[in-house]
Amino acid sequence: MRTQRGMTLIELITAMLVVGILTAIAVPSYTSYTRKTRRTDAKVALTGTAQQLERCYTRYYSYNNAGCSVVLPYSTGNGTYTIDADAAAAPTPGVTVNSFALKATPQGKQVLDTQCGTFTLNQANVQGVSGGGGAAVCW
Protein backbone atom coordinates (compact mmCIF):
# COMPACT_ATOMS: atom_id res chain seq x y z
CA MET A 1 0.00 0.00 0.00
CA ARG A 2 1.11 3.51 -0.81
CA THR A 3 0.66 6.33 1.66
CA GLN A 4 -1.12 9.38 0.39
CA ARG A 5 0.81 12.64 0.34
CA GLY A 6 -0.73 16.08 -0.16
CA MET A 7 -4.36 17.09 -0.53
CA THR A 8 -7.07 15.71 -2.73
CA LEU A 9 -8.97 17.96 -5.12
CA ILE A 10 -12.12 17.76 -2.99
CA GLU A 11 -10.22 18.86 0.12
CA LEU A 12 -8.75 21.80 -1.80
CA ILE A 13 -12.15 22.89 -3.15
CA THR A 14 -13.66 22.61 0.35
CA ALA A 15 -10.91 24.82 1.80
CA MET A 16 -11.40 27.37 -0.98
CA LEU A 17 -15.16 27.36 -0.36
CA VAL A 18 -14.68 28.05 3.36
CA VAL A 19 -12.28 30.92 2.59
CA GLY A 20 -14.73 32.33 0.04
CA ILE A 21 -17.63 32.28 2.50
CA LEU A 22 -15.55 33.96 5.21
CA THR A 23 -14.43 36.63 2.74
CA ALA A 24 -18.01 37.25 1.61
CA ILE A 25 -18.97 37.92 5.22
CA ALA A 26 -15.88 39.86 6.30
CA VAL A 27 -15.46 42.35 3.42
CA PRO A 28 -18.88 44.07 3.69
CA SER A 29 -18.57 44.17 7.46
CA TYR A 30 -15.11 45.74 7.22
CA THR A 31 -16.30 48.28 4.63
CA SER A 32 -19.20 49.30 6.86
CA TYR A 33 -16.87 49.66 9.83
CA THR A 34 -14.41 51.87 7.92
CA ARG A 35 -17.26 54.14 6.77
CA LYS A 36 -18.38 54.57 10.37
CA THR A 37 -14.86 55.40 11.54
CA ARG A 38 -14.39 57.96 8.75
CA ARG A 39 -17.46 59.82 10.02
CA THR A 40 -15.35 61.00 12.94
CA ASP A 41 -13.30 63.07 10.47
CA ALA A 42 -16.41 65.12 9.71
CA LYS A 43 -17.43 65.50 13.34
CA VAL A 44 -13.96 66.49 14.52
CA ALA A 45 -13.47 68.96 11.67
CA LEU A 46 -16.89 70.58 12.13
CA THR A 47 -16.54 70.98 15.89
CA GLY A 48 -12.97 72.26 15.51
CA THR A 49 -14.04 74.85 12.95
CA ALA A 50 -16.99 75.84 15.15
CA GLN A 51 -14.58 76.37 18.06
CA GLN A 52 -12.40 78.60 15.90
CA LEU A 53 -15.44 80.63 14.86
CA GLU A 54 -16.53 80.95 18.50
CA ARG A 55 -13.07 82.27 19.38
CA CYS A 56 -13.47 84.84 16.60
CA TYR A 57 -16.84 85.86 17.98
CA THR A 58 -15.40 86.18 21.49
CA ARG A 59 -12.55 88.34 20.23
CA TYR A 60 -14.23 90.45 17.50
CA TYR A 61 -17.97 90.07 18.29
CA SER A 62 -18.40 88.71 14.78
CA TYR A 63 -18.08 85.29 13.15
CA ASN A 64 -16.96 86.73 9.81
CA ASN A 65 -14.41 89.33 10.90
CA ALA A 66 -11.37 89.72 8.62
CA GLY A 67 -9.08 89.09 11.60
CA CYS A 68 -10.37 85.56 12.01
CA SER A 69 -8.06 82.79 10.86
CA VAL A 70 -10.82 80.42 9.72
CA VAL A 71 -10.29 79.33 6.12
CA LEU A 72 -13.19 77.72 4.28
CA PRO A 73 -13.48 75.43 2.37
CA TYR A 74 -10.87 72.84 3.29
CA SER A 75 -10.51 69.06 3.18
CA THR A 76 -10.07 66.87 6.22
CA GLY A 77 -6.70 65.24 6.79
CA ASN A 78 -7.72 61.96 5.16
CA GLY A 79 -9.57 63.70 2.33
CA THR A 80 -12.85 62.02 3.26
CA TYR A 81 -14.83 65.25 3.79
CA THR A 82 -14.81 68.85 2.60
CA ILE A 83 -15.71 71.42 5.27
CA ASP A 84 -17.45 74.56 4.01
CA ALA A 85 -20.02 77.19 4.93
CA ASP A 86 -23.54 75.89 4.33
CA ALA A 87 -25.09 78.37 1.90
CA ALA A 88 -28.40 76.49 1.89
CA ALA A 89 -28.90 76.48 5.67
CA ALA A 90 -32.02 77.96 7.23
CA PRO A 91 -32.71 80.41 8.81
CA THR A 92 -29.27 81.96 8.30
CA PRO A 93 -26.96 80.52 5.62
CA GLY A 94 -23.17 80.64 5.58
CA VAL A 95 -21.04 82.65 7.98
CA THR A 96 -22.47 86.02 9.01
CA VAL A 97 -21.85 88.51 11.81
CA ASN A 98 -24.11 86.73 14.32
CA SER A 99 -24.37 83.17 13.03
CA PHE A 100 -22.70 80.40 11.10
CA ALA A 101 -23.78 77.20 9.39
CA LEU A 102 -21.15 74.63 8.43
CA LYS A 103 -21.38 71.44 6.41
CA ALA A 104 -19.12 68.43 5.86
CA THR A 105 -19.62 66.97 2.39
CA PRO A 106 -18.36 63.39 1.86
CA GLN A 107 -15.61 62.81 -0.72
CA GLY A 108 -14.18 59.71 -2.37
CA LYS A 109 -15.40 56.36 -1.03
CA GLN A 110 -17.24 58.12 1.78
CA VAL A 111 -19.87 59.26 -0.76
CA LEU A 112 -21.25 55.71 -0.53
CA ASP A 113 -22.25 56.35 3.10
CA THR A 114 -25.99 56.73 2.51
CA GLN A 115 -26.88 56.40 6.19
CA CYS A 116 -25.26 59.67 7.25
CA GLY A 117 -24.30 61.64 4.13
CA THR A 118 -23.54 65.34 4.68
CA PHE A 119 -23.05 66.54 8.27
CA THR A 120 -24.18 70.03 9.35
CA LEU A 121 -23.54 72.18 12.43
CA ASN A 122 -24.50 75.76 13.34
CA GLN A 123 -23.72 78.34 16.04
CA ALA A 124 -26.49 76.98 18.30
CA ASN A 125 -24.82 73.53 18.15
CA VAL A 126 -27.72 72.10 16.15
CA GLN A 127 -26.35 68.99 14.49
CA GLY A 128 -27.82 67.42 11.38
CA VAL A 129 -27.22 64.93 8.59
CA SER A 130 -28.66 64.51 5.11
CA GLY A 131 -28.78 60.71 5.21
CA GLY A 132 -31.49 58.41 6.46
CA GLY A 133 -29.75 57.63 9.77
CA GLY A 134 -30.63 60.89 11.50
CA ALA A 135 -28.50 63.08 13.73
CA ALA A 136 -29.02 60.88 16.81
CA VAL A 137 -27.45 57.89 15.05
CA CYS A 138 -24.70 59.66 13.09
CA TRP A 139 -23.49 62.24 15.58
Record: fold of 9-138: Glycoprotein, Type 4 Pilin (3.30.700)
Q: Which residues pair with residue 82 across a beta bridge?
A: 75, 105
Domains of the chain, by residue range, sit at 9-138
Q: Which residues pair with residue 119 across a beta bridge?
A: 104, 129
User: Residue 28: pLDDT band by 50, 70, 90 thresholds?
Assistant: confident
Average predicted confidence (pLDDT) for the chain: 91
Q: Which residues pair with residue 116 across a beta bridge?
A: none
Express each pLDDT in 67-108 by its tens digit.
988 999 999 988 999 999 998 887 778 899 999 999 999 999
User: Residue 16: pLDDT band by 50, 70, 90 thresholds?
Assistant: very high
Express each pLDDT in 41-70 by its tens digit.
999 999 999 999 999 999 999 999 989 889
Mean pLDDT of 29-49: 92
Task: Judge whether 120 and 100 are in contact, CB under 8 Å.
Answer: no
Q: What's the pTM? A: 0.80
